[in-house]
Structure formats: structure tokens, C-alpha cells
Amino acid sequence: MLADALLRTAGGATALLRVTGSNADTNMSEVGLVPTTFAEVAVSPALMRKLRPGWKEGDQSKWELLVSATSVEQQANALDLPSAQSLFAMTLAVTVAGQDYLIESIASNEAFGQAYLYRLLLREARQQAL
């Protein structure tokens, strides 16, 4: 709760996790023929902060998304998932303020054995064709 309050005071943005829908697995979806259905799961409060900019050509900027564990747990429960990790494993991309990001790694901060904050290392996604 304290983490939520701190995130709210520092900006309190909303991040959308684009998760795969519950469409049946088919041959066609495995070879990229059928568009998978997606659902957007909102988690908030969240805070984005830019990490050191990339210096290599073609290197995307990296960001860290700090997101409330309370919100993540709520969404995981709503989707009937066993853990927050399962939710992140289903996430294809994260959208914040209209910009898509890909998850590079996930870490959590814990107190008394309970996660209170998830830290997602994100990389800016390249523009996809329409």
C-alpha cells in the first residue's frame, strides 16, 4: 500500500499489458498465419523511468517500469492465473502512453516475503506494419 501511494505521488500512470487471448492453439497460429486475439490488462499505479540511453546504432532505449504488486495480483486473480509471473509470461508487450515496449526482464521487490513492487526492464518496440 505504501508502494502504491509512492507510485501515485510520483506520477501514477497506467500501463497496459497486452496478453494473448484464450483462442485455441492451431497449426495456423503457430506459423504466424492467424492473428492471435489479444486482451489489454491495465495495471496501475505505474511509473516509467528511462535508463541510460543506448549508444550503439539501432539500439533501442531501455526503460524501467515500476508497477504496483497489488494491481498485478488483482489482475492475475481476475484472469485466474496462479501467479504474477504467469501474467508476465503471457504478456507480449506493454503499452504506456501509446508507446509499445517489450519486456526484457522482470524483478520484484519484496518485504516480509511478499512482493510490493514489480520492476520490468523494457525496451522500446519497433514500429510494426499496419
Partner 1 sequence: MQNAKDSFYMALRSRLATINPQRTILLRGSVRPGILVEEAEAPFSQLPNDVFVLRWTGTAADTDLAATMVAEQCEVIYQTCGTQSFGGLDRGRALSEMDEELLAMLHPFYTLKLCYTATPPAAMMTHVFWDDPTFAPVVVQRDRLSRNVMMTVYSYQEQGE
For β-strands 114-124 and 91-96, DSSP reports them as: unpaired
Helix (H) or strand (E) holding 20, with range, is strand 13-20
CA dihedral 123, 124, 129, 130 (to 10 degrees): 120
Q: Which of 1, 2, 25, 129 binds partner 1 (CB under 8 A)?
A: 25
Q: Which of 1, 2, 33, 97 binds partner 1 (CB under 8 A)?
A: 33
Residue 24 found at the interface with partner 1 (CB under 8 A): yes
Each residue 84-103 as x (binds partner 1 by CB under 8 A) or -, in order, gives -----xx-xx--------xx
Q: Which of 4, 14, 29, 116 binds partner 1 (CB under 8 A)?
A: 29
Tracing cell 494473448 back to the chain, one arrives at 20
CB atoms within 10 A of CB 11: 12
Interface positions with partner 1 (CB under 8 A) = 20-22, 24-25, 27-33, 36, 89-90, 92-93, 102-105
